[in-house]
Chains A and B, each alone.
Chain A
């Protein structure tokens, strides 16, 4: 049975919406934005702010559109003179006490009040009275409260009680003395999702201590991405300035994370900014094609490029690496260590390279938390036990997990292997300096050169997920795309590009020249990814074909 529809007219446009839709949501469907503060699609509507008043024909007074449901034949005017006038009046009341400290407010540039006043505010305030002053409060956790800026929409209070399920915030006092607070000194410490109240506060009343005065909103570049802190795969945006990630904000995806993300993921970004990067490719393997001497780059193993080989260094290095791999192939076989932070495309290239070398084993290590941290009011979202973004993708492509829950151990066989060893992305943090010293060829591709890669025959600088395009497969098997946010250092290239080039030079096949091509190669070679369209993945992602194993590994 089709859902019952209600026909109405909004700003002269006829529209049919589902019964029970509010006028505000219906207006959004025809493209009319109704200003609002207290309404948030993920929360209940208390009609606190009265900023969403619209004119409804026949109604004796303006209606708050966020709580008024549509009626058959209703005629709504969002932008009539009367409706706009009502909202201007409400706005004027907001400004009676609002401090208008936009020049120093962190929310400036993305503040709803600023926008509304800009579009529909009076030129000059008429209020003669002094403004009320509350000052600031440290709410604990990552949150600072600037009481004077609060517009009493109670979104934060409702988030904590309805979504987080921990009613820490409340409205204290009433009338013009009303202020948001916790139970005296209790604060938000110990809650795991409170960063979201900073996002949903429509003004600069709740601010992140971490981001305080770090950057102005309009200076930040926003890149759609996927959180890498657990296998949930929350949709996020990386906000970047000066080629450094400054903060992470959630991006709406109802199937994965709604409008939210956890504090753990939100604040886990410093690693993307870490310096000391491996910048130039470096090989010290003998190359038969160039007849070059032993080491192309001298003996320093830290990844800087003393040889100034410039643009040719990649091709020179790769051809030496290829020759070394060909020379070492066969024998004891190939063992590869992948990282669950590699994209699906990176991994497909690694698998192809291993196959080109005559096949072998791909293992990875990943950290696991002791438990899940479920968002009570939105239980499909949790900080999962599995603390890496792409373990599902790795599993689908046949990689096996080794090691313990700290992401350590499990590499004994690789460490002593005397065939080909390829490590991509794993920092080998717990391994000895003589890791893979007896390998016939040991190729290390990563963002940094760890001490344990000392015996590597080649160090290949690759990008982190934040510097490249690609896709991850989350625990439900949803394949989601991320886009580059940072400019990679030196001549670091995405792993799929580097490994793909090596593989192609060995198996004589096509080499992917874009992420889309790399993904196409993946969907051609792996049945789990068959039929997925890289472009279409941008909107919310798509499910991989294979039902991933849920449960223990989540």
Chain B
């Protein structure tokens, strides 16, 4: 068997082929930490930039954030490729990506502003307007739908008392529908901030919401 030279194995545990730690592979210093508890490994890619904690007043791309973006840029032959990562950092800091942020990213990466907008709006995981501290995304795609996603979605809306896409008055919750979250085997899947909650049924909702209210949504 010919061994391929180094290829990033993702993180499916240590396969024994490489002497690399998870943080070496993920680059946790600058991509961000994996949450301490819960979450399915398949959600790892979405983790770093969906925090409950926000720093809306901090400057984007100064200090530590600038270091991070510089590291990201250094990974690619051209700056355009660092756009997704840059937008992720914005979202991590602010909780959403606003007009002014897009302009700032465009300036930093020397890209046309329209291009940045096009990319930011193409990907649904970027929030284009402010969301609550807990962003509840209920998958209503086919597997989840078969497993009662509509009830779960309605359940969240009713329990929290919002309309789809709305943020609750206390700023704690925003509930939206999501396309397939790629956790079809564990339907109904609900992504809350960085974390996947799987096999969710309508009965689980009060517990989940209480957990989130007590600050457990990190």
**Interface residues, chain A, with chain B CB atoms under 8 Å away:** 161, 166-174, 181-184, 186
Contacts and interface: CB of A to CB of B under 8 A. Distances in A.
Nearest to A185: B99
A184 B128 CA distance: 12
Interface in B112-159: 112-118, 121-122
B99 A170 contact: no
Contact of B117 (A161, A166, A183): A183
Contacts of A184: 99, 117
A182 B114 contact: yes
Contacts, number: 36
Contacts of A166: 112
A168 B112 contact: yes
Contacts of A186: 113-114
B127 to A, nearest CB: 14
Interface in B7-37: none
A172 B99 contact: no
A328 to B, nearest CB: 64
Contact of A172 (B103, B112, B117): B117
Interface size class of B (residues with CB under 8 A): 10 to 19
A166 B112 CA distance: 8
B100 to A, nearest CB: 10
B78 to A, nearest CB: 15
Nearest to A182: B114
B122 A174 contact: yes
Interface string B79-118: 0000000000000000000010011000000001111111
B122 A173 contact: yes
A163 to B, nearest CB: 14
Contacts of B121: 172-174
Given A171-B118, A183-B114, 9 more contacts: A161-B112, A169-B114, A170-B114, A171-B122, A181-B114, A183-B103, A184-B99, A184-B117, A186-B113
A184 B116 CA distance: 11
Contacts of A167: 112, 114-115
A171 B99 CA distance: 16
Contacts of B102: 183
Closest 6 CB pairs of A and B: A170-B118, A167-B112, A183-B113, A170-B114, A183-B114, A172-B121
A181 B115 CA distance: 10
Nearest to B124: A174
A186 B116 CA distance: 13
6 contacts: A168-B112, A172-B117, A181-B114, A183-B113, A183-B114, A184-B99
Nearest to A169: B114
Contacts of B103: 183
A173 B124 CA distance: 8
Contacts of B112: 161, 166-168, 170, 183
Contacts of A169: 114
B113 A172 contact: no
A284 B113 CA distance: 65
Contacts of B117: 170, 172, 181, 183-184
B179 to A, nearest CB: 9
Nearest to B114: A170
B105 to A, nearest CB: 12
A383 to B, nearest CB: 23
A398 to B, nearest CB: 49
A222 to B, nearest CB: 34
A182 B122 CA distance: 14
Contacts of B115: 167, 170
A137 to B, nearest CB: 14
A157 B116 CA distance: 14
A183 B100 CA distance: 11
Contacts of A174: 121-122
